[in-house]
Structure 1
């Protein structure tokens, strides 16, 4: 795996975004909404099969709530989710905080966040390792570390910002920085000894532990970040207000008092959904600009 400086990360991110834009343009420049269909996607922060499994019951629920056919459209990378929404190939996306900021900046404010999980008000990242010598962030100096995707809020941006706050520059103080592409891949890299440590989304970590796909006695958490705003469901601002309200109301109505509601909330690892707004992500945007990841 390759090592990245902030400048190289920035170049990689925008090259990927441009490539995604060309891909969508080739598929049909100026594509319009498909009548009767709500096209939904999500940042690929987990394996594609897992994203599909998590979305199926939610998609069925939204279809009943909106009267539309709901189609899940997987994307190859984080940049493609941003470009897909902006270029009208996708109607609604499950964004991380940073990808929402990227989409909002790229579209000049034409993206509207509708809802987030209650857990996303104070989301956290964890740093994990198998190395007994690593007990705190400062112990990472001279070691190898894997983030997730370059555009991940919880797998890169916020962990990087907390490292910088601890006066640790990942690009100069660590032996090597790698990017796994997804949270579960970060865990695999640490467990497999490819890197000394990794940073990822706490929700995915807890899910892997609960599913016994990782042994927390072998791969352990040595640092948990403070809370920050993260994931949300966003739409283009030109979506009709009536449809935005139907979607929002459907999410807000979910509760664990019904089998359907409990299944959906459990798969989304949510206690409930709550309204959100662009202003909630100001700190994420500031962190991205400070880290040189957003211009």
Structure 2
């Protein structure tokens, strides 16, 4: 009886220890580097302060060098919460088996990519045949995967259609390449394009949109599957509570290019997984 009692106590202690190991003293947050690191940090700071207030714990933002690094950080429990593109989420879900998408912007349920050029003779992708073209990161949903998928559906294979295909690494870099004449055309996500035009980074008199993709699901905030469920629920509630009618909240939402946040689920990204397999980006 004593041995059984000690064994039970030991098992309970191990279970409690494992549970405590999954609790976060500091909420560690990261994001895919789809824009310059300084811009990512600027956009996150007010949101991070809001989350600290809502969760009652410190929130720390950790930038990463590239898209795969976010997936690895989630898989190794080095970060708790990450801003992911749809394809990066699919990769994280497949690698971890339990990465959980919590919320997405309302805009992410019907996201698009914009094809841009500074060449006045280009009116369609057909006009770019034999010319140079830029995607963003190879792991970007809106800067590579989905535009490529839609091009393939239209019978356009980028590597044979364009004279040269480049990868800028980020949406704002793609726009800069097009504006500088480094490439004849490129594609980036609609949200970043709108922001670059609004803040004057891109001169819309020189660079213009000549085509837009069909809609698809894209970005979300994802937590590691081993995070304390109670904390996970609080994080989701904090995002859903952001109200554009409240000035402080609207400032946060504006920086996130969001009208509001809505719940999301893994099944929303099944189409992106299928597109990635069709493009031979998942084995």
Same fold (TM over 0.5): yes
Q: Is 1:253 the equivalent of 2:257? A: no
**Structure 2 unmatched ranges of 5 or more:** 1-20
**Residues of 1 paired with 2:259 and 2:176: CA distance?**
28
1:141/1:168 contact within 8 Å kept: no
User: Residues 1-295 of structure 1: matches in 2 within 5 Å?
Assistant: 35-107=24-96, 109-295=97-283
CA distance, structure 1, for counterparts of residue 98 and residue 262 of structure 2 = 21
Give the superposition deviation at 1:174.
Answer: 1.1
Runs of 4+ in 1 over 6 A off after TM superposition: none
Quote the Cα distance in structure 1 between the aligned partners of 2:74 and 2:57.
Answer: 18
- Which residue matches 1:24? none
Name the count of aligned residue pairs. Answer: 263
> Which whole-Å deviations, capped at 9, do the CAs of 1:38-58 have from their partners, x for residues lacking one?
000000000000000000010
Work out whether residues 41 and 81 of structure 1, in 8 Å CA contact, stay in contact via their aligned partners in 2.
yes
- RMSD after superposition: 1.0
Give the Cα separation in 2 of the matches to 1:114 and 1:74.
20
**Residues 138 and 166 of structure 1 are in contact (CA less than 8 Å); yes or no, is this contact kept in structure 2?**
no
Gaps of 5+ in 1: 1-31
Contact 1:137 1:166 (8 Å CA) reproduced: no
Partner Cα distance (1:35, 1:185) in 2: 35
1:139 and 1:288 mapped to 2: Cα distance?
A: 26
Q: Structure 1 residue 83: deviation in Å?
A: 0.4
- Aligned residue for 2:177, secondary structure, equals helix
TM-score (norm 2): 0.91
Once residues 33 and 156 of structure 1 are traced to their aligned partners in structure 2, the CA distance between those partners, rounded to angstroms, is 35
Displacement of 1:140 in angstroms is 2.0
Report the secondary structure of 1:74's partner residue.
Answer: coil
- Are the equivalent residues in 1 in contact too, given 2:22–2:226 (CA < 8 A)? no
Q: Secondary structure at the match of 1:46?
A: coil
- Give the distance between the partners of 1:191 and 1:256, measured in 2 at CA: 34
Q: CA deviation at 1:162?
A: 1.2
Deviations 1:79-116 (Å, cap 9, x if unpaired)?
00110111111111000000000111111x21000000
Aligned counterparts of 2:249 and 2:274: Cα–Cα separation in 1: 35
TM-score (norm 1): 0.87
What is the DSSP-based 3-state SS (H/G/I as helix, E as strand, rest coil) of the residue aligned with 1:116? strand
Given that 2:104 and 2:264 are in contact with CA atoms closer than 8 Å, whether structure 1 keeps it comes out as yes
Whole-angstrom CA distance in 1 between matches of 2:23 and 2:263? 26
- In structure 1, what is the equivalent of residue 7 of structure 2? none
Q: Secondary structure at the match of 1:71?
A: strand
Larger Rg computed on CA atoms: 2
